[in-house]
Amino acid sequence: MAFLELHQIFKSYFLGNNEFPVLKGIDLTFEKGEFVSILGESGGGKSTLMNIVGGLDREFNGQVKINGELLDHRNEKQLDEYRRSTIGHIYQSYNLIPHLTVLDNVLVSLDMTTLSSTEKKQRAQQLLSKVGLKDQIHKYPKYLSGGQKQRVAIARALASDPQIIIADEPTGALDSKNTQEVLELMDEIAKDGKLVIAVTHSSAVANHGTRIVHMADGKIDRDERLKEAYPIPEDPTRIQTQKLPAHSSYEFSFKHLMYNFWRNSLIMIGVAIGLFAVMIFSGLGNGVNGYIKQQVNSVSNPQVIQVLRNTTGRKMNQQELMETFQNMAGNPQAGLISQHQIQRLSKVDGVKKVEKGFTLPTYRLAMEGTSKVQSGTGLSAWNANNKADSIKYGHRPGKGEMVVGKQEASQIMGAKNYRKVLGKKASLTFNWIDQKGQPVAINIPIKVVGLVDSSTTGGSSVNYQTVYDALKDQKADTRPNFLAVRVRNLNQVSTVAQKIDNLRDNNKRVFGTITVGSMLKRINRYVKLASDILAGVAAISLLVSALMIIVTMYMSVSERTKEIGILRALGERKVDIRRFFTSESILIGLFAAVLALVITLLVTWGINSAFYGLIKYNIIQLTVDNVIFAFVAALIISFLAALLPARRAAKLNPIEALAAE
């Protein structure tokens, strides 16, 4: 039984329906220790035969047997395994992988063995020393001469200790000195007990071997033994091969990524910009929401519900209520609240205290000692909802006192002297109604005791009791038109507000409520809308990034077609090839995400420090969720973007891929 047997090998190529037979029944047997040269006219089918022997071609008729065992050439997995463990290839054009060093080129084959990583490295170094390249192991192939490249290729072909070495015109591109050296190396391989099959046109090569097989018209027409096959030495322990481990794929992709660092870094920057936009906009959205909440909470008490008369009887939305509140300045009587209604309200579960209040209509403030008269709207009684910290200068209004907004103070005293309004006396006048609904002018002597930062509050406030007493003295209706309801527990606020909203008289709702929460909800809806739109813009840029990755990966597949062929010939599976591309893309996504995070942190720091002085708040608030989202998005996008190109790479026919320029 011969080591390698070919029985009745037939192979045709088809162009449309036309059949072109190339191999017309080849029968050959080979033994270990032989150095066989295949000669024949150009186009005679030598390479076609070698592709069959080398496990690259699955479309033929006939049998290939190794050690008497039939090779199932329809079974892709078995062929992958056969190429990995049994075949080593040497090509005319060397076919080294350009982005790997000499050492790594040899290690690519060793990656599919069960040796430890130190053993792999040792073996690669040993083989490279044997072919005389000890000092070149860290060079890239482009810096080697033709002869040196071919010697690296020989070292790689021997790396996983295959029993058959197929050499297709191994000296075709070499000068006579290098040809001689390569032939001697091949001779040694045969002496080591391997089967060397060399396709050649050169009689020098052919005469160097132990046997010449000549092909003509798709058949063997001469089989000449020049000398005895070399004796097979005691078989040393064979190296075991295995499928390429996943981590080797990742390392390989990483090396390719680094080799093309500048090109890849441009893509990374592109993707990073998209991710940066996503993160910074989300952070800004959080910050603006937080800032508004802080601002609203600093002037309004979140545990207080503002209650107004529901003038429509039906459920009023927040917008309508705010409008009612603002209209109250023109017609305060419309919203007067009776004692009976207040009592009903006090009985609502969770209500701790009901404080009466007034929102005054248009008023006039005549400053004592000057002819200055200030008109305004929206003056209300100081109540539980007002926070003491909103007063920037002075104190909250006691009896006969009021606080004014900074803006109003500037109008009265001039922008530079607004603080001088403190301590000034004035006469406050406005129109109200009496018990019979007739208009009555109210006049209250008042002293300004505080200044409120009006950019963050409704503005001026007056002491409740003072207004009440004045209304009573001047025989006006003393019913309040506004209530501040303090709730027992902060977390009950919205339930209590709902209950108040639901109080009815003759099936008509009596009250409308405004809470800090509901106000914030409304504002935050707009902020969210704005930040969603920005995030949408960012998502578009991410989409562009994904397209960029797809295009680059497709280009990469075209550029690396030959490399894919080389790797398949070494025994790598389709899944390994696919993994190279997806993992490279994922690495790009991951690096882009890290880069985006660094940029985002820097920009966040810059913007926050720039604005902190102004608003005393970090306006960009990046959360861990935002960062996780960006990373997950980067990984998913880069993985999806690589899927199609990776699939295409994996599907390439290894023979055609090897033939690519």
Ligand X SMILES: Nc1ncnc2c1ncn2[C@@H]1O[C@H](COP(=O)(O)OP(=O)(O)OP(=O)(O)O)[C@@H](O)[C@H]1O
| Closer residue to ligand X, CB minimum distance, 216 or 598 | 216
Give least dist CB 19 to ligand X, A: 11
| Closer residue to ligand X, CB minimum distance, 41 or 135 | 41
Give least dist CB 164 to ligand X, A: 18
Query: Rounded to 5 degrees, what angle do the CA atoms 4, 10, 13 make?
Result: 125
| Closer residue to ligand X, CB minimum distance, 201 or 344 | 201
- Which H or E element spans position 11? strand 4-15
| Closer residue to ligand X, CB minimum distance, 48 or 310 | 48
Give least dist CB 45 to ligand X, A: 4
| Closer residue to ligand X, CB minimum distance, 197 or 337 | 197
Using the Cα atoms of residue 558, residue 559, residue 562 and residue 567 in order, give the sign of their dihedral.
negative
Residues 39 to 58: which contact ligand X by CB under 6 A? 40, 42-48
Q: What single-letter amino acid sits at 472?
A: K
Residue 450 CA to residue 393 CA, distance in Å, equals: 6
* Sequence-distant (≥ 6) Cβ neighbours of residue 279 within 8 angstroms: 596, 597, 600, 622, 626, 627, 630
| Closer residue to ligand X, CB minimum distance, 47 or 163 | 47
Residues 393 to 452: which contact ligand X by CB under 6 A? none
Give least dist CB 530 to ligand X, A: 60
Q: Note whether 72 and 149 are within 8 A (CB).
A: no
The neighbouring-strand residues paired with 241 are 113
Using the Cα atoms of residue 84, residue 30, residue 658 and residue 12 in order, give the sign of their dihedral.
negative
| Closer residue to ligand X, CB minimum distance, 14 or 262 | 14
| Closer residue to ligand X, CB minimum distance, 41 or 434 | 41
The neighbouring-strand residues paired with 403 are 450, 461
Give least dist CB 194 to ligand X, A: 22
Give least dist CB 222 to ligand X, A: 15
| Closer residue to ligand X, CB minimum distance, 213 or 288 | 213
Residue keyed to tokens 């050492």: 103
Residue 346 CA to residue 361 CA, distance in Å, equals: 26
Question: Is residue 589 a contact residue for ligand X (CB under 6 A)?
Answer: no
| Closer residue to ligand X, CB minimum distance, 204 or 636 | 204
Among the candidate windows 35-43, 306-314, 527-535, 644-652, which touches ligand X by CB under 6 A? 35-43
| Closer residue to ligand X, CB minimum distance, 221 or 228 | 221
Residue 82 CA to residue 87 CA, distance in Å, equals: 7
**127: nearest Cα among 86, 164, 156:** 156
- Number of residues binding to ligand X, judged by CB under 6 A: 10
Give least dist CB 271 to ligand X, A: 39
Please give the torsion angle defined by the CA atoms of residues 405, 411, 412 and 415, in that order, rounded to the nearest 10 degrees. Answer: 90
Give least dist CB 661 to ligand X, A: 15
293 by Cβ neighbours in 10 Å (0-12 / 13-18 / 19+) ranks as middle
Q: Note whether 35 and 190 are within 8 A (CB).
A: yes
Q: What is the number of alpha carbons within 13 Å of residue 252 lying toward its C-beta?
A: 28
Give least dist CB 97 to ligand X, A: 23
CA distances from 650 to 79, 105, 113, 639, 644 (A): 15, 20, 22, 15, 10
Residue 50 CA to residue 64 CA, distance in Å, equals: 12
**604: nearest Cα among 616, 596, 613:** 596
Residues 158 to 217: which contact ligand X by CB under 6 A? none
Residue 250 CA to residue 265 CA, distance in Å, equals: 18
Give least dist CB 24 to ligand X, A: 12
Give least dist CB 53 to ligand X, A: 12
| Closer residue to ligand X, CB minimum distance, 45 or 335 | 45
Residues 4 to 33: which contact ligand X by CB under 6 A? 13, 22
Give least dist CB 77 to ligand X, A: 23
178-193 burial string, b = 16+ CB within 10 Å, else e?
bbebbbebbbbbbebb
Put the strands of the sheet holding 351-357 in their side by side order: 351-357, 482-487, 304-309, 511-514
Query: Residue 554 is encoded by which pair of tokens?
Result: 């497709």
CA distances from 462 to 328, 441, 445, 604 (A): 16, 17, 11, 42
| Closer residue to ligand X, CB minimum distance, 45 or 645 | 45
* Sequence-distant (≥ 6) Cβ neighbours of residue 193 within 8 angstroms: 32, 33, 230, 231, 232, 233, 235
Among the candidate windows 37-45, 499-507, 574-582, 615-623, which touches ligand X by CB under 6 A? 37-45
| Closer residue to ligand X, CB minimum distance, 200 or 463 | 200
Q: What is the number of alpha carbons within 13 Å of residue 590 lying toward its C-beta?
A: 10
| Closer residue to ligand X, CB minimum distance, 22 or 535 | 22
Give least dist CB 653 to ligand X, A: 9
Give least dist CB 50 to ligand X, A: 8
Residue 497 CA to residue 386 CA, distance in Å, equals: 18
Residue keyed to tokens 């072909």: 157
Give least dist CB 202 to ligand X, A: 11
CA distances from 627 to 275, 287, 400, 601 (A): 9, 15, 55, 10
Residues of the shown chain interacting with ligand X in the complex, contacts defined by CB under 6 A: 13, 22, 40, 42-48
